[in-house]
Amino acid sequence: MKYPAWPRGKKLVHLDLKGAPPTSKYLHQLIELFSQLGVDGLLVEYEDMFPYEGELKLLQATAQPAYSHKEILSMQEFAKSKGMEVIPLIQTFGHMEFVLKHRPMWGLREAPNCVCTLNPHTEDALKLVMGMLKQVVDLHPGLNTLHIGADEVYMLGEGEQSKVELASPGCTVQQLFLGHVTKVAKAIKEAWPDMNIIMWDDMMRGMCQDTLKASGLVGLVQPMLWDYTPDLDVDKTVALLEKYYSAGMTELWAASSFKGSTCVYTCVTHTQRHVENHLQWLKVAATLSAAINLKGIAITGWQRYDHLSVLCELMPVALPSLAACLQTLFHGEFSAEAQSKAAEKLGISSVEVEAMERRSADDPLFPGRKLTELIVELDALLNCEDIRSFENNMYVRGWLSPFQRQRRMVSPLITMQIHSQATTYLTTLQQKTDMLREEMVQFYPESTAQEWIEEHITPVMAPLQQITEDIIACVKEMVP
């Protein structure tokens, strides 16, 4: 079904830098491509890749250097030259893992075992948040919009100070949430009166209209309603947006996804899933009351589900999905024309990465194309049933059981056949891994390549390697 093209408003692409931070050179290549794809701005989630200074220096990443002041300014200048706005996203309540994991910050946790949520009751919490924000704002000249996060504030109310507050008549967890966010928003407005403030909406979804009106947030923040699913509930989403609008929050945003929202360890982006999400958002926009004018949509591309989870799809393998999602918004449908234009802009034959081929020798390769191909090949190999279930195949279970390995009583003939097959798989995987590492370090730090390999390849290779070592040890006991 065809819907009206996405209504007026900015189309932002989310850069999640809390994992696999692109090199400065690759960041510029991405911005150039985003500009060609019709992107209006960047929603940049720095986390530990921001060059915090002073008491906050401990927040910087240790696996690789944070971006330098010069690199961040250069990124902004290049984006501006392409007509793109840069909006920093700084978490101020939930998803504070990159802050609260550090021992000196443990006392600011809502609960001792909750590394993600800030304790909203201490003056030091607001001081920390404003200290982070000031450094970010200072390094973004002319900035007029901030995103303060505030999503998924888990275990709020479980801390001792929260429990004392909740014992007061009429106090609720909703009020704890609203109290902290309002305090942060007012502090921002006091420091930078003209600053626009965006926040994620999920913690407000269960709140009634009267609670929102009385919160003090009306006129201070712009809710960004996120839903990344291909079967997004249109009626429920429309009702939420209209509730916020009726409560006086008249400046609203949407947030979709082009990668990083399928499964926590997904390596290959499946374009159609994300296109479906955007088709549902088009339906939402077409169903909304005429009075509600969305300020824009943030097309998110998560690199980790949170600071402490594994890397999911890297940016190159998701670029076909991004191009397809943008063309879907431009056309109001994922028509043959939309598919063709998305593929054409990347110089490929299909926006499904498993099927993409270069259109012609004259077409430019999108940045990271070869890395994308290697990831797709490796992912197929890593998920091959013969490799995944090698330990459970008939020969390994029948002639190389834990009992037999422990007692060094095996059939040399059969186990050496097992060894040969395992070695073949290991050799192929290692060759592909070496090629992938060589390509990946052209776009990402060496630490990212190492992490990706250890998270996605090593767990598959390790059992095969153990089998080969066990066989050699056993056969030595059986053959003169």
Q: 273-290: per-residue pLDDT in tens?
A: 999 999 999 999 999 998
Q: Give every CB contact of residue 336 below 8 A, 6+ residues apart in sequence.
A: none
How do residues 172-192 score in pLDDT, each as one tens digit? 999 999 999 999 999 999 999
Q: Give every CB contact of residue 410 below 8 A, 6+ residues apart in sequence.
A: 399, 400, 404, 471, 474, 475, 478
Q: Is the pLDDT of residue 358 over 60?
A: no
The verdict on whether 152 is a catalytic residue reads yes
Catalytic one of 45, 53, 152, 469: 152
User: In degrees rounded to 5, what are phi and psi of residue 16?
Assistant: -95, 105
How do residues 85-110 score in pLDDT, each as one tens digit? 999 999 999 999 999 999 999 999 99
Whether 338 contacts 6, CB under 8 Å: no
How do residues 219-264 score in pLDDT, each as one tens digit? 999 999 999 999 999 999 999 999 999 999 999 999 999 999 999 9
Quote the CA–CA distance of 365 and 369 in Å, as a whole number: 6
> What are the residues facing 42 on neighbouring strands?
13, 86
How do residues 408-460 score in pLDDT, each as one tens digit? 888 999 999 999 999 999 999 999 999 999 999 999 999 999 999 999 999 99
In the three-class reduction of DSSP (H, G, I as helix; E, B as strand; rest coil), residue 78 is classed as helix
Quote the CA–CA distance of 237 and 226 in Å, as a whole number: 9
User: In degrees rounded to 5, what are phi and psi of residue 196?
Assistant: -85, 140
In this prediction, residues 27-48 reach a mean pLDDT of 97
Quote the CA–CA distance of 429 and 418 in Å, as a whole number: 17
Q: Where are the alpha helices (DSSP H) in 109-172?
A: 123-138, 160-166
Torsion region of 153: left, alpha or beta (phi above 0 gives left; psi -120 to 50 gives alpha)? beta
User: In degrees rounded to 5, what are phi and psi of residue 78?
Assistant: -70, -40
> What are the residues facing 105 on neighbouring strands?
none
Report the pLDDT value the prediction gives residue 349, as an integer from 0 to 100. Answer: 85
CA angle 406, 411, 414 (to 5 degrees): 120
pTM as predicted: 0.94
Q: Is the pLDDT of residue 480 over 90?
A: no
| Neighbour-count burial for 148-158, b at 16+ CB within 10 Å, e otherwise | bbbbbbeebbb
- Tokens encoding 282: 């088009």
User: In degrees rounded to 5, what are phi and psi of residue 259?
Assistant: -170, 165
Report the pLDDT value the prediction gives residue 362, as an integer from 0 to 100. Answer: 53
DSSP assignment of 228-256 equals --TT--HHHHHHHHHHHHHTT----EEEE
